[in-house]
Structure 1
Amino acid sequence: MAGTSDTLETLDDAVAAAAFRRLVRHLRQRHDAQNIDLMGLSGFCRNCLADWIREAGYEGDKAAARELIHGMPMDEWKDRYQSPATPEQLERMEASVAKNRVD
């Protein structure tokens, strides 16, 4: 947001952390919300959250970050909850992710 003030930066870190933890716990309960559908609708998913915590300074590797977000190892989560993506889901995801790109 070049040239503008982002009031989000005024949010207390403890409040932001509590909201983030609530979001992660919510996603841990909503296994029906597939990552591919989250990507298709909002352009981010659980794996993005794992990437973002690493970018923010989490010292664990990619697998550890994903386990933290998913609440279990990624392979276990995929085996239990992930269904194969349809061509339509992949198309929606690609269109949605394209909106994330900032010029």
Structure 2
Amino acid sequence: MPWTYIVRCSDDSYYVGSTWDIDARLWQHNHSDELGATYTRRRRPVALVWSAWFDRIEDAYLFEKRVQGWSRKKREALIRDDYTALPGLSRRAAVQRREAESDSAADG
């Protein structure tokens, strides 16, 4: 079954990927110098922090590419299953700061 997944690397960075076999892929990330991604090879061990299965590998791959473009904060919201935070984290940083300042002024 096709998966999109996120692993946390030993340097606390995230790697996003997609695969048919998540258990085999995690093993590759942690043990194989030939099959694991170059990025994770230098950042072992890695630990699975989020995954979702899809009906088609094409959908898993497209979601992987989408999440790869996300900020760290947005990826962490996905990992926490905090789906309500995702739209706000899609906004540019300047817009997020203005909203936070506006909320602080309204509370104060």
Tell me the TM-score range normalised by the shorter chain: under 0.3
Radius of gyration: which is bigger? 2
Normalised to the residue count of structure 2, the TM-score between the two structures is 0.23
Between 1 and 2, higher relative CO (CA 8 Å, sep ≥ 6) is seen in: 1
Normalized per residue, the structure richer in strand is 2
